[in-house]
Chain A
């Protein structure tokens, strides 16, 4: 079970890249997912002005290398009914 305290603590950093604009520098489509995630889904490595970050792709269009992208607010992972839902930044075409 995800710790509600840890989720609360991560609020300080989870939304850091909300609205940030960058470019996709690499991508992978995760077929075999870790526990707590329902796939398949794309994960993109994004180059921002302040450095690189990584996050899930939340757009119907397939990500392409060099594509301009923006950070948006989305739910992170899957939870049990008794767990706290965590929110963070995912990426879509800009």
Chain B
């Protein structure tokens, strides 16, 4: 059995007083303390990070946390770095290479200008996409336009994603934007890459999260952890209105956990842009294809809906420190399943799902967690 024994998330936001090293220490120590383990019980460290110019982050984390001379490594899979890192921890545990793995996702983004961040994120795209002057907002803008044409939705429909996730974030003190927004604010925000406006986009965020994944007994079981890949370039995809990697990772995760979409009580999905959440809830089977926007608008994925989605505020309002996001999603579900999510706690829950995407869909990770 694989369990998540400890989980911790730092505040997300523009953390000008904290360096990447500070974030690693706060998250790592928080998760170890939460796990109730002495430091010498950690026998593998995996650091998820995408953008740091500081290399050798595995060994650096071990040094900063004062751990024994344990193996350590860095995992990079664009914005899916965190999800992939947790999945690698599971592989190590199943292989018998470790008993308690500390997975830290950390990212420091606000030390760079917006243009530098846009360029750095495009490192996760293809050469032809970089040459076209695309940004990640632009890549999802291309998908949104194709989705608009196929399913006849509008910018107003996208706005409900931001409104829901901001409403959820208003209950989360660790969120970057813990306040609700109105439809007018979303629609009147400036255009970043058409048809996506500022409030369709996750922000630039500093933050970290950490979990201790273990083969010892715990309160929350990590029932399945599955990764799938697809072409890095949008031009090579079969469809512009779904992420095949999400569908495959989801299908494999449901099969491994022996559950289906109807069994999921709550989920954290990768809403880097509003259109991404709409595609995610469809690709994960939470609603029919083409009905994502309408289902969100109807409140099905609200705090008191049939399947609460992104109770943390999601990437949109809790924040998106890219390499840390996949770990934070797991920490959020663990908090919910352990009944310690404060004002955003939902009752009578047993099974949670996380969905983490790298690039414009080149990698997808789906994890399913169950309360023991």
- Give A contacts to B, CB under 8 Å: 10, 14, 25-37, 39, 41, 43, 45, 51-56, 65, 76-77, 86, 88
CB-based A-B contact count at 8 angstroms: 102
Is B100 an interface residue, CB under 8 A from the partner?
A: no
Give min CB distance, A50 to chain B, whole Å. Answer: 11
Residue from the set B141, B149, B236, B240 with the largest chain A CB neighbour count within 10 Å: B141
Contact of A29 with B193 in the complex, beta carbons under 8 Å: yes
Contact flags (1/0) for B224-237 with A, using CB distance below 8 Å?
Answer: 00000000001110
Residues of B whose CB lies within 8 Å of any CB of A are 113-116, 118-119, 122, 127-135, 137-138, 141-146, 149, 190-196, 234-236, 240
Given contact pairs A28-B141, A32-B193, enumerate 10 new A-B contacts (beta carbons under 8 Å): A25-B240, A27-B194, A29-B193, A30-B134, A31-B192, A33-B133, A52-B236, A54-B234, A54-B235, A65-B145
Question: Are A37 and B145 in contact, with the CB atoms below 8 A?
Answer: no
**Chain A residues whose CB sits within 8 angstroms of the CB of B195 once the complex forms:** 28
B142 in contact with A26 (CB, 8 Å): yes
Q: Is B114 a contact partner of A30 (Cβ separation < 8 A)?
A: no
Instruction: Say yes or no: A33-B115 contact (C-beta < 8 A), given A54-B235, A55-B132.
Output: yes
B145 and A41 form a contact (CB under 8 A): no
> Which residues from B are CB-within-8-Å of A10?
127
10 contacts between A and B (CB under 8 A): A26-B149, A28-B144, A28-B196, A29-B194, A34-B133, A34-B134, A43-B132, A43-B142, A54-B142, A65-B145
* Chain B residues closer than 8 Å to A39, beta-carbon distance: 133
Secondary structure call for the A interface: strand
Docked-complex contact B236 and A34, CB < 8 angstroms:
no
Rounded to whole angstroms, the CA-CA distance of A14 and B193 in the bound complex is 24
Give Cα A14–Cα B319 distance, bound, in whole angstroms: 37
Set A27, A53, A56: member contacting B133, Cβ < 8 A: A56
Point out the residue from B122, B144, B146, B192 that lies within 8 Å of A32, measured CB to CB: B192
Q: B114 to A43, Cβ gap below 8 A?
A: no
The docked-state distance in angstroms from the alpha carbon of A27 to that of B194 is 8
Taking CB atoms, residues of chain A closer than 8 Å to B234 are 45, 52, 54
CA distance A71 to B115 in the complex (A): 28
Q: How many Å lie between the Cα of A43 and that of B140 in the bound state?
A: 12
Closest to B146 in A: A26
> Given that A26-B146, A28-B193, A53-B128 are contacting pairs, would A77 and B133 also be in contact in the complex, using a CB cutoff of 8 Å?
yes
CB distance B142 to A29 under 8 Å? no
From the candidates A25, A35, A51, A76, name the one contacting B131 in the complex (CB within 8 A): A76
Contact between chains at B135 and A30 (CB < 8 Å)? yes
Residue pair A45, B193 in contact (C-beta under 8 Å)? no
Q: B126 — nearest CB in chain A belongs to which residue?
A: A54
